[in-house]
Amino acid sequence: MTNSGLQVRTTRQDTRGGSQGVDAAELIRRLEITPEDLRLVRSYGKIVVPQIAAYNTLFYQWMERQPEWSIFFSDAVRLTHVQQRQMQHWQDLFEVEQIDEAYVARRVRIGEIHARIGLSLMAYFAGIDHSMRIFKHELYDGSLSIDDYTHVSVAVSKLIHADATLVLDAYTRATSQKIADQASALLEMSTPVTALWDDILMLPVVGIIDSNRAQDIMSAVLRSVAETRARIFIMDISGVPVVDTAVANHIIKITRATRLMGCQSVLSGVSPVIAQTMVELGVDVGGILTKATLRDALAAAYEAVGIRLVTADGRAAGSRS
């Protein structure tokens, strides 16, 4: 496919088959990059690429005054590697023949790296702005007419803005994915369904229960019930600070779902305040076995599965005599 004479492929797919962000065709269309723009950029590259080492010196003199210097560039080996990659990046831009998917992928990679190491977007855009000043002013030799320089300056700005667009898009997607992964991990950690004994599962719930978390709890519980064929499921809500109508309904749905799988639910940690709240809300808890404490819930669960615990001296566990 072509767009303004530039060869591109219209879509890119990631390894999961989904959209991977801005593609070459969209970038060209949105920024109105033409073959003439690329020709002008290459012509200007003949002026600045031979001075790429000078750019490197000027840029890192500026970079040394930035707060990110000590965090990301204090290591000499890493600094040398970054400088070489940066010079290759700018040479790639000023010698570009076409905006294709390979070109886009190289820019996307930069955004992903910045997101992974934690370099802020403010630092990135400050660096882009300073680089533009170096290339447009400090390395310019004054050999072009005013009109030619104006056209070249516009074309160079388009390409640099295209780079920034790709980096920002990749950075945003990578950061969003990181946040989503962390949220998923936290949800998994917040639903530790534990097998206490043969046929008995327990889940202590701590914190706020919203719709997303309730669905995650239900999925984890039902999966564990199916895997263990448990007969009793204890859900302890003593760590839930607030019970409103929505929370109560979530709890009831979870207990009813386990019942459909042949597993009886025991709700423990029902404090006087929670009990009063549920009554005032008119929540129907019929069919749900409730206990004030986890100890009482465990006793009921053991009795339900025919387990009798005794101490070393033969007394029944829990006996105070």
Domain with CATH 1.10.490.10 in the chain: 2-185
Between CA 171 and CA 118 the distance in angstroms is 10
CATH 3.30.750.24, the chain: domain bounds: 194-304
CB distance 220 to 258 below 8 Å: no
SS3 281: coil
What's the pLDDT at 8? 36
CATH of 194-304, one of 3.30.70.270, 2.30.42.10, 3.40.640.10, 3.30.750.24: 3.30.750.24
Tens-digit pLDDT string for the chain (321 aa): 333 334 333 334 443 333 457 888 999 999 999 999 999 999 999 999 999 999 999 999 999 999 988 888 888 888 898 999 999 999 999 999 999 999 999 988 888 888 888 888 899 899 999 999 999 999 999 999 999 999 999 999 999 999 999 988 888 888 888 777 766 655 555 567 888 888 899 988 887 777 777 888 888 899 999 999 999 999 998 888 777 778 888 888 888 899 999 999 999 988 887 788 778 777 777 777 888 889 999 988 998 888 877 777 766 655 444
- pLDDT number for residue 201: 93
pLDDT at 127: 93
pLDDT of residue 314: 67
Non-local CB neighbours of 93 within 8 Å, separated by 6+ positions = 41, 45, 159, 160, 163
The tokens of 132 are what?
Answer: 């533009």
Topology at the third CATH level for domain 2-185:
Globin-like (1.10.490)
Cα-Cα-Cα-Cα dihedral sign, residues 117, 123, 125, 128: negative
Cα dihedral 49, 51, 53, 56, rounded to 10, equals -80
Tokens of 167: 């980096």
Residue 218, pLDDT score: 87
- Rounded distance between C-alpha atoms, residue 275 and residue 240, angstroms: 13
Largest CA distance in the chain: 104
